[in-house]
Amino acid sequence: MGMAMRDRVIRDEIHKDIFVPANHAKIIDTREFQRLRSIQQLSTCEYVFPAANHNRFSHSLGAYHLAGTLVSSLNEVQPGLVSDEDCELIQLAALLHDVGHPPFSHLLETPEVFATYHSHEHWGRLLLESEDTEVGKALLEVLGSNRRDRLFALLDGQAEHGGVRIPPFMKEIVASQLDVDRMDYMVRDQANTGAQIGGFDIARVIRALRVNKAGHFIVKSWGLPAIEAYLVTRYHMYHQVYFHKVNMLTQNYLVRMLVRARTLAQDGNLTLSQPLQNMLLNTSLNPKGYASLNDAHIRVALPEWAEHEDTVLSHYAMRLLSRRDFHKSLRIEGLTTEMVDVVLPRLEPLVQEAGYNPAIDIITARISKRGYMPYEQGILIEDGRDAADHSPLVRSLTQPNERALIFVPDSIRDELETSVREWVKPSQSSLAQFE
């Protein structure tokens, strides 16, 4: 390695100074971790919020920093709660939680796009277990095999490793309703989108946390307003940013474009770069090959695809390049995924009659429970009851049902809307009229 590495301080737009000891810098300076600089945190969200092109790298550092802050805070109010060894594991778990993300983050995490498909958690584990990846080697060097395996047990939510207990709050710091991942991305995403939606005070949320006898997190009663602010922020971020109609639409364009590219390439009608071959065609992609993929490999193909003779491929690529001719959503309140299934077959002939191709020009998006979620219980106040039981505000933020969107060409939106309204009118909540 040449010279010994030194401790460093990294300047972050959200948390200001993030202290990184030399041995953790060893993990951060690996190719697989540095790759996160080339993966946009909010995939296509910049089509709505032009400044939202921050990346998974700064977010991962932020989560790492918050994990350290949270453990220090706990040890102050409950002395001896977390050993230094376990504090390091919790911080590294937060640092590495996103290392397996595909290009464009959650968006391309689908077997429709990846010929070798795994969830990002699974890819992350393969990268960290591997002796072939730089990050796998660095992790082993920093922790040794026993502590590395305890880190994996912690990530898997196991109750112990090698006979040594892993209390549940250790996992909750990294993955729960109140984890450092969410706390960081909400503040960071809000700052980078410019969405002014009232924030929450991370420091106050952290100060209000305690660990109960069973080893789970609870929140002091005085911390309830801080939790409310956190959940309200989350609610607004979902509705105004993550679930923004144009964000849902451009995500669809991107996935549909890649699915089409895959089909064309399989039929020999499209030549792909090596990285895109690995993504779309390679059925035995190894962790190292996976970790060589990033957003740029897709972006660089767009201009060529926009000119391609295949109308489906060029249709989507063109829109992602020029932001013209975007489809528009049908403005129908309370559209559910069930309704969509019933409405679609009736929409198709109308779109066809108007001279459009239903296969390209009807786009549906489901706002489902993947990736981003409204609150669904799980934050406990010190008396052991859920935050929702203490707060009417929190209760009002729980949204059990999926929502759906249907996008169609702008020129026929109004007339299609009128038809669909007629079909779903009798009682929007039930489908009795279709029986």
Q: What is the pLDDT of residues 69-104, one digit of tens each?
A: 999 999 999 999 999 999 999 999 999 999 999 998
Convert the pLDDT of each residue in 236-262 to its tens digit: 888 888 889 999 999 999 999 999 999
At residue 369 the predicted structure's pLDDT band, cuts being 50, 70 and 90, is low
CATH code 3.10.50 for 327-435: no
Q: At what angle do helices 180-193 and 224-237 cross, to 10 degrees?
A: 50
Q: At what angle do helices 245-266 and 311-322 cross, to 10 degrees?
A: 140
Task: Give the DSSP per-residue string, 179-204.
Answer: -HHHHHHHHHHHHHHT--S----HHH
- Residue 371's pLDDT is 43
Mean pLDDT value across the chain? 90
Which two structure tokens, joined as six digits, stand for 396? Answer: 């009002």
Which two structure tokens, joined as six digits, stand for 3? Answer: 């010279």
At residue 431 the predicted structure's pLDDT band, cuts being 50, 70 and 90, is low
What homologous superfamily does CATH list for 8-240? Hypothetical protein af1432 (1.10.3210.10)
- Residue 206's pLDDT is 95
Residue 428 has pLDDT above 60, yes or no: no
What is the C-alpha separation between 104 and 349, in angstroms, rounded? 34
What is the C-alpha separation between 297 and 305, in angstroms, rounded? 13
How many CA atoms are closer than 13 Å to the CA of 110, on its beta-carbon side? 16
Residues 6+ apart with CB under 8 A from 213: none
Residue 433 has pLDDT above 80, yes or no: no
As a whole-number percent, the residues of the chain with pLDDT over 70 amount to 94
Q: Which helix (H) or strand (E) holds 206?
A: helix 202-207
Convert the pLDDT of each residue in 25-46 to its tens digit: 999 999 999 999 999 989 888 8
Query: Residues spanned by CATH 1.10.3210.10 within the chain?
Result: 8-240
- Residue 376's pLDDT is 67
Are 168 and 216 a contacting pair, CB within 8 Å? yes
- Residue 301's pLDDT is 95
Residue 374 has pLDDT above 80, yes or no: no
- Residue 372's pLDDT is 47
Q: At what angle do helices 120-129 and 134-155 cross, to 10 degrees?
A: 120
Query: Residues spanned by CATH 3.30.70 within the chain?
Result: 327-435
What is the C-alpha separation between 287 and 296, in angstroms, rounded? 19
Residue 215 has pLDDT above 90, yes or no: yes
Residues 6+ apart with CB under 8 A from 51: 192, 193, 194
Residues 6+ apart with CB under 8 A from 93: 67, 151, 154, 155, 173, 174
Are 36 and 64 a contacting pair, CB within 8 Å? no
* pTM given for the model: 0.91
Could you tell me the CA-to-CA distances from 46 to 51, 287, 323 in Å, in that order? 6, 29, 11
Selected residue with higher pLDDT from 113 and 243: 113
